[in-house]
Amino acid sequence: MSVLALPASALASLGRATFNALAAIGRIAIYAALTLWHIVRPPFYRREFFTALMQVGWLSLPVVGLTAIFTGGALALQIYAGGQRFSAEAVVPQIVAIGMVRELGPVLVGLMIAARVTSSIAAEIATMKVTEQIDALTTLSTNPMKYLTVPRVLAGFLTVPLLVGVGDIIGIMGGFLVSTEQLGFNRASYIKNTVDFLQTPDVVSSLIKGAVFGFIATLIGCYYGMNSGRGAQGVGSATKNAVATASILILAANFVLTSVMFGS
């Protein structure tokens, strides 16, 4: 079926959807610019920032660790099985390391943060909006952008790279455990192969991705919360849209970053 055969109404709604998506991206970009503008101007709410550090960083550790260890283990099994087909099963340590550090670590941590942190930020701020707490902040001469958005976004930007670093290490450890316990790799040489193979740019790219994903995840949560509709339904759709948008933007940003940093 050619595109011309599509009914006009379907085309129109496709056009409208595209237009709406572009408009949303524009509004999010403006919101991001505003956030950056406020980050560098006082006052800075330290207590809110430390709470956000706990929420975004520390309390996400279990989820990140579990995700990474299972993924690292599965990755080792797949590479071993795949490598066997052309007698290249010895490359498991190298490929696990590069796969975890360059791609899977940042992406999985980013998505877990979108699920855990973006949703809770969006729901919390949307509830505050719906119950007029945001209006109350304003009347108490406190800028909601500075009080709510800046601490969370800054915490995301600073802690998610650390989470990604932890995720990378635990992921490699997952691969190591499976390889040495189940696939018969030698421990010392597995570690040596991993360490020799990984280069500084691999690690740096991983952390840069983490910072960008942390920024996206927290910013999108705040944006949808602040722009929530009215009532319980408003909170529900703000949360849903925040998680969906954050996940897609993280994956898109990952592609762009990978192309920029590794695409020759």
Partner 1 sequence: MIELSRVAKSFGKNHVLRGVNLTIPRGQSMVVIGGSGTGKSVLLKSILGLVTPDSGRITLDGADVREANRDAFLARFGMLFQGGALFDSLRVWENVAFRLMRGATKLPKDQARAIAIEKLRRVGLKPETADLFPGELSGGMQKRVGLARAIAAEPEIIFFDEPTTGLDPIMSGVINALIREIVTEMGATAMTITHDMSSVRAIADRVAMLHDGLIRWTGPVADMDQADDPYLQQFIHGRADGPIESVR
Applying CB under 8 A, the residues found at the interface with partner 1 are: 43, 128, 131-133, 135-142
3-state secondary structure of 264: coil
Nearest to 55 by CA among 218, 170, 210: 218
Residue closer to partner 1 by CB (options 101, 148) is 148
Tell me how far, at minimum, the Cβ of 45 lies from partner 1, in Å: 9
Could you give the CA distance from residue 54 to residue 78 in angstroms, rounded to a whole number?
A: 35
Nearest to 98 by CA among 182, 206, 245: 206
Please give the structure tokens belonging to residue 236.
């529900």
Residue closer to partner 1 by CB (options 141, 200) is 141
Residue closer to partner 1 by CB (options 135, 181) is 135
Tell me how far, at minimum, the Cβ of 130 lies from partner 1, in Å: 9
E strand spans, the chain: none
CA 107 and chain centroid, separation = 6
- Residue 92 and residue 79 in contact, taking contact as beta carbons nearer than 8 Å: yes
Length, in residues, of the chain: 264
Residue closer to partner 1 by CB (options 137, 251) is 137
- Residue 91 and residue 143 in contact, taking contact as beta carbons nearer than 8 Å: no
Tell me how far, at minimum, the Cβ of 155 lies from partner 1, in Å: 15
Could you give the CA distance from residue 260 to residue 208 in angstroms, rounded to a whole number?
A: 12
Residue closer to partner 1 by CB (options 51, 94) is 51
Residue closer to partner 1 by CB (options 51, 258) is 51
- Alpha-carbon distances of 196 from 76, 77, 94, 200, 227, rounded to whole Å: 18, 21, 9, 11, 49
CB-based contacts of 179, cutoff 8 Å, min separation 6: 76, 80, 92, 93, 96, 185, 190
Residue with tokens 């762009």: 256
- The letter for the amino acid at 175 is G
Residue closer to partner 1 by CB (options 128, 212) is 128
